[in-house]
Amino acid sequence: MIRYSAFTDTGRRRKSNEDALLADVDNGVFVVADGVGGRAAGEVASSITIDTFQQAAPELAAVVRAYAARPEWSTRNAVLELLDSVCQNASRRVYDEAEAHARRGMTTTLVAAVVGGGSCFLAHVGDSRAYLVRDGLIRQLTEDHSMVNELVRSGQMSRDQALRSRYRNVITRAIGLYPTVQADLMSLEILPGDRVLLSSDGLSDMVEMGRIEAVTAEDDIETAGRRLIEEALDGGGHDNVTVVMVEPEATPQTEAARARARIMETLFLFEGMPFHVRLRVSRICEELFFTPGQVLVREGEAGDSMFAIVQGQVKVKKGEVELATLHSGEHFGELALVEPVQPRTATVEGAAFGSAIVVRRKLLTEFCQREPEVGSQILWRLLATLGVRLQQTNALAAKRLSGHADEPA
């Protein structure tokens, strides 16, 4: 059963509320939209966006049910693709409305969550935010698409300066700014006790993260939602403020979910990345379950994928000779991500029941094209790892040559 609370308030200084929200618990669709463009225009933009998601809610619920019935890469990404399509539809509708009524610049931010099957799927545009509250701690799931955030990320402005900047509310992406929009899309598995918080910047601008964390840890989700609104008003209430807090059903595979999260956090491709970036990257990761003796890759056959062991062990063989046993956290096949399809140099088969994360070269390439900044980070890490492997190979070759040189002719 999904528990939630949803509140919006005009604030202490605004005469109208350009925020809008959707809390469709029957379909598991929750949305916050913060309209931009002045009185009436902003309200229209956020209202159109909410209406677009309301119309799409049954279809979104259907693809989430399909994912829950068969949780794998293809069904998970089907949800994300539909979410993206709804964002595109909303942007087109808002843009067309603005063009038809001479309201150019009428836009809205968006943060949407679709929950079900033990997972939460998110779409984000602008500077409204999504947070995850887990084990009493809060993590920001989204990254603001704003001018000051870009300056902070590039090192041209400190976070303190960003808070005081007159440009802090200038957003770089918005629903309706153009007929199409680039939305950040991600999914995460829900663990017992998790809460997902969606809010407009009327909360994040007025209330420090520490206070948000403390309030969202309250036992009563209804009370926590009301208190967040009160905190924003007590902090000045300079803007409209909207809060939607959701407590979705948790995944039944808690331990497996935690294991997958650990691998995503420690795998060399993604290590050190912010939590919200790893969630976006996860869309290129498939999961493969294997049994003892099952061949994951076969010597001599072409391959285009890297594997990271989540649970269990695999054996690496060349011919009939066993070379190594790989355990949870170890990986193989990374060379296949950067070069044309080449024959595998060894066979890898399951040594016990387990699972692995699979990253395919085609999906990595598509992700790098969609998100070049994150993609370039991944490629540099891949290049560095391959450089280390090459050094190790050269050192081993030199050692063997040296050994042969000492042998009698």
Number of neighbours of residue 324 by Cβ within 10 angstroms: 12
Query: In this predicted model, what pLDDT tens digit does every residue of 136-170 receive, in sequence order?
Result: 899 999 999 877 766 666 666 666 665 666 666 67
- The Cα–Cα gap between 274 and 289 comes to 27
Higher pLDDT, 185 or 370: 185
- The Cα–Cα gap between 406 and 409 comes to 9
Percent of the chain with pLDDT over 70: 90
> For residue 305, what is the enclosing H or E element?
strand 305-311
Contact in structure between 238 and 13 (CB atoms under 8 Å): yes
Instruction: Report the pLDDT value the prediction gives residue 405, as an integer from 0 to 100.
Output: 45
Structure tokens at 348: 């890898």
Helix (H, G, I), strand (E, B) or coil at 61: helix
Smallest CA-to-CA distance from 171 within 91, 232, 228, 105 is with: 105
Q: What is the pTM of this model?
A: 0.85
Q: Is 255 exposed, middle or buried (0-12, 13-18, 19+ CB in 10 A)?
A: exposed
- The Cα–Cα gap between 101 and 255 comes to 54
Helix (H, G, I), strand (E, B) or coil at 49: helix
Q: Which fold has domain 256-399?
A: Jelly Rolls (2.60.120)
Lowest mean pLDDT among 88-92, 194-198, 358-362, 387-391: 387-391
Lowest mean pLDDT among 129-143, 301-315, 390-404: 390-404
Query: In this predicted model, what pLDDT tens digit does every residue of 32-76 receive, in sequence order?
Result: 999 987 666 899 999 999 999 999 999 999 999 999 999 888 999
Q: Where are the domains of the chain?
A: 3-251, 256-399
- The Cα–Cα gap between 115 and 197 comes to 12
- Looking at the domain covering 3-251, what would its CATH class be? alpha beta
Instruction: Report the pLDDT value the prediction gives residue 273, as an integer from 0 to 100.
Output: 87
pLDDT above 90: residue 226: yes
DSSP code at position 171: B
